[in-house]
A and B are shown apart, each in its own frame.
Chain A
Amino acid sequence: MTASQRAAHLAQLNIATLLHPLDDPRTAPFVEMLDPVNAAADAAPGFVWRLVGDGAADATGLRPAGEDVIVNLSVWETQEALWDFTYRSGHLDVMRRRRDWFARHVKAHLVLWWVPAGHRPTAAEALERLADLQANGPSPRAFTFASAPTAAEAARHLEAGATSQP
């Protein structure tokens, strides 16, 4: 593994459209799982950072993608680390029940992209990546688990992108 690959972290954004408000009893089981699942994320191998609202424990109060759309934005050391947390931890049980709480998305609702280590993506930047994926399909700029570029492609892309970053 080269230095440039080690210096790259994986950012992920996923958005979910609430069927009912967060304080609705029908959404209560989801809200109850927020703190334990977020704590599990914070302690998961390869976890780097996640977006939280000012003075909040999570990002559910931020609504950068619409009034009833909650966002989850985080950074991980590797794609494997993110995969294992998302689908091989207590988080899977939340995912299993997603149809109870969230509307079905017609367009992509999860996007992955590489960032330089230490970079903290903003919600605006993350939503741009999602729009890119929705408009253009998977690319090294914006991809999904199933369409992830190889580490070498990712490193090339990140090196090319680094020169144009402020």
Chain B
Amino acid sequence: MEDIDAIAVLQDPVRRRLYEYVAAQGREVGRNEAAEAAGVARTLAAHHLDKLAEAGLLETGSRRLTGRSGPGAGRPAKVYTRSRAERSVSLPARDYRTAAELLAEAAEQAGLDAGLCEAARRRGEALRGPAAPCAGLDEAMDVLAARGYEPHLECDEGGEGGEVGGGGENGGGGGTAARVVRMRNCPFHALAERYPPLVCGMNLALLEGLLGAGGRVRARMDARPGECCVVVEDSKNNDD
């Protein structure tokens, strides 16, 4: 299916809600859960989820959601995750991707990391505009979401890090573990895979500029498989 046809599948508002819900979870989502989130009946949700899978926007799998196994555990449930494939449409046709790859290749060969990071920091500052440096993690979440990073809060316990309740009703009850913002989406994914130190360094500098220096949050590189390389946390010195 061509990109324009796949994207057109999202014109249906129910499909779009289902797609956005599955994409935002960052894990496998079953039909019941998706139906509930989109406010539609399970059979209708199943129909639209499968249309999204046919279009290549979602990927499907099967899993026993209850954790039971063996005889009597029941049939595995169908689950959905967002497809990793990128879709884009440009009218008229533009090809910034090729230009970006060529510029990155040249920058990598010439060792232009420092100049690129300076430009990225300036761009981040310009995007922030006259706004004061970011005042807290909640504001950082909004700023990052607006730029497509798909941020989510985690309790950083130096390891696996449990997810903080997504609805926000647990907000403020973090207890001893420090809350950090992690990001599911890398807006520069294809370039970052090809030139990781160069492009991830650029991304960090961009975010440092965007969040502002001397505020209550700071960006730090803390790469993990499958996520953006940057984590945003409270500044260590914010009580000084």
Partner of B197 from the list A89, A90, A98, A146 (CB cut-off 8 Å) is A98
- Among the stretches B5-13, B39-47, B206-214, B217-225, the one at the interface with A is B217-225
A88 touches B114 (CB 8 A): no
Q: Are A90 and B200 in contact (CB under 8 A)?
A: no
A26 at the interface (CB under 8 A from B): no
Smallest Cβ distance from B116 to chain A, in angstroms?
11
CB within 8 Å of B: which of A78-118?
A: 84, 86-90, 92-93, 95-96, 98-99, 104
Question: Is B111 in contact with chain A by the CB < 8 A criterion?
Answer: yes
Known interface pairs A87-B223, A90-B222, A90-B223; A96-B194 also in contact (CB < 8 Å): no
Total chain B interface residues with beta-carbon distance under 8 A: 17
Instruction: Give bound CA distance, A104 to B196, whole Å.
Output: 16
Contact present for B204 and A96 (CB under 8 Å): yes
| A98 CA to B223 CA, complexed, in Å | 16
Contacts of A93 in B (CB 8 A): 221-223
A109 → chain B closest CB, angstroms: 12
Contact assessment for B113 and A88 in the assembled complex, using a CB-CB cutoff below 8 Å: no
Determine how close the nearest CB of chain B comes to the CB of A37; give it in whole angstroms: 12
Can you list, as one digit per residue, whether each of B99-141 has a CB less than 8 Å from chain A (1) or not (0)?
0000000000011011000000000000000000000000000
Q: How far is the CA of A89 from the CA of B201 in the complex (A)?
A: 14
Q: Are A88 and B194 in contact (CB under 8 A)?
A: no
Known: A92-B197, A92-B229, A96-B197. A104 touches B111 (CB 8 A): yes
A95 to B, closest residue via Cβ: B197
**Which residues of B have CB within 8 Å of A95?**
196-197
Q: Which residues from B are CB-within-8-Å of A146? A: 194
The majority secondary structure among interface residues of chain A is helix
Interface size class of A (residues with CB under 8 A): 10 to 19
Are B111 and A84 interface neighbours, CB within 8 A? no
The A-contacting residues of B in range 117-169, CB under 8 angstroms, are none
Do A92 and B225 contact each other (CB < 8 Å), given the known contacts A99-B111, A99-B113, A99-B114? no
Please give the distance in Å from B121's CB to the nearest CB on chain A: 14
Interface centre among A84, A89, A92 (most CB of B within 10 A): A92
Q: Do the beta carbons of B197 and A88 come within 8 Å of each other?
A: no
Complex: A84 Cα to B204 Cα, angstroms: 19
Q: A88 to B182: give the CA distance in the assembly, Å.
A: 14
Q: Which residue of A lies closest to B224 (CB)?
A: A88
- Measured between alpha carbons, how far is A84 from B226 in the docked complex, in Å? 9
A50-94 interface (Cβ within 8 A of B): 84, 86-90, 92-93
User: When chains A and B are docked, how far (Å) is the Cα of A89 from the Cα of B196?
Assistant: 12
Distance of B100 from chain A, by nearest CB (Å): 16
Instruction: Find out whether the CB atom of B113 lies under 8 angstroms from the CB atom of A92.
Output: no
List A contacts of B201 (CB < 8 A). Answer: 96
Q: A92-B221, A92-B223, A96-B113 are in contact. List 7 more A-B contacts (CB 8 A).
A: A88-B223, A89-B223, A90-B222, A92-B197, A95-B197, A98-B113, A99-B113
Q: Using a CB–CB distance below 8 Å, which chain A residues touch chain B?
A: 84, 86-90, 92-93, 95-96, 98-99, 104, 146
Q: Would you mind naming 20 contact pairs between A and B with Cβ atoms under 8 Å apart? A: A86-B196, A87-B197, A87-B200, A87-B223, A88-B223, A88-B224, A88-B225, A92-B197, A92-B221, A92-B223, A92-B229, A93-B221, A93-B223, A95-B197, A96-B200, A96-B201, A96-B221, A98-B113, A98-B197, A99-B114
| Minimum-distance CB pairs A-B, first 8 | A95-B197, A104-B111, A87-B196, A96-B201, A92-B223, A93-B221, A88-B225, A88-B223
